[in-house]
């Protein structure tokens, strides 16, 4: 740890079921955030998923009305999503792709990934000093034009869905930040979605 970080805040900045995030400083002085997976969480999730598979099988066998909704298929999709979310190397790749997609957009900021310090269970990212849109104060910052932030968000969303076919799958106020210069920041890229050209065309037609 001391060869990479000069300081790690022991109090988490944020905590969720799979991981928690800590502020830290690299030995070169760069401010970062470190996302650390909870020890043993993959085993806990697999146990929970096995219980869900068992319940889904019972539903399909004994409740004919449930078969329409394909309970086993729903659990399987949920499991595949969680498997991807447990691998932070995949999240790092997602971030790099979003960075490439938005490199020419001056209104959207994607945090830089420190790949040399990241892996399957640890993710080190550039620290960006913004306020999540879930807090009222995010749009009350001195240099922030709330209409411009909303326009940036709408352009960002439509670009992801209709132009790139690669979109953030967990967009909520806690994963969208407003910087004090008015830029919009996206974080937490563990869940993403993909749309084929045909799907994008059908959505456009609708």
Residues acting as catalytic residues: 170
Contact 180, 142 (CB under 8 A): yes
Alpha helices (H) in the chain, listed in sequence order: 41-62, 71-85, 88-101, 146-158, 197-205
Nearest 10 degrees: CA dihedral of 48, 168, 99, 111? -60
Residue 115 class from Cβ within 10 Å (0-12 exposed, 13-18 middle, 19+ buried)? middle
Contact 27, 49 (CB under 8 A): no
Supply φ then ψ for residue 74, to 5 degrees: -65, -45
């Amino acid at each position: 740890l001391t060869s990479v970080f000069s300081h790690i805040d022991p109090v988490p900045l944020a905590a969720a079921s799979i991981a928690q995030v800590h502020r830290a400083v690299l030995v070169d002085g760069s401010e970062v955030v470190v996302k650390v997976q909870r020890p043993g969480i993959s085993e806990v999730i697999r146990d929970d998923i096995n219980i869900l598979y068992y319940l889904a099988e019972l539903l399909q066998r004994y409740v004919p009305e449930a078969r329409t909704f394909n309970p086993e298929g729903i659990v399987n999709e949920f499991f595949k999503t969680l498997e991807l979310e447990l691998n932070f190397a995949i999240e790092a790749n997602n971030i790099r792709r979003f960075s490439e997609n938005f490199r020419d957009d001056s209104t959207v900021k994607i945090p830089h990934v420190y790949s040399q310090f990241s892996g399957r269970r640890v993710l080190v990212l550039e620290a960006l000093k913004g306020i999540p849109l879930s807090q009222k104060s995010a749009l009350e910052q001195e240099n922030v034009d709330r209409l411009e932030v909303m326009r940036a968000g709408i352009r960002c969303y439509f670009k992801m869905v209709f132009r790139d076919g690669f979109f953030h799958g967990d967009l909520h106020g806690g994963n969208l930040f407003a910087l004090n210069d008015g830029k919009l920041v996206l974080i937490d890229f563990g869940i993403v979605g993909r749309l084929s050209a045909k799907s994008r065309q059908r959505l456009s037609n609708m």
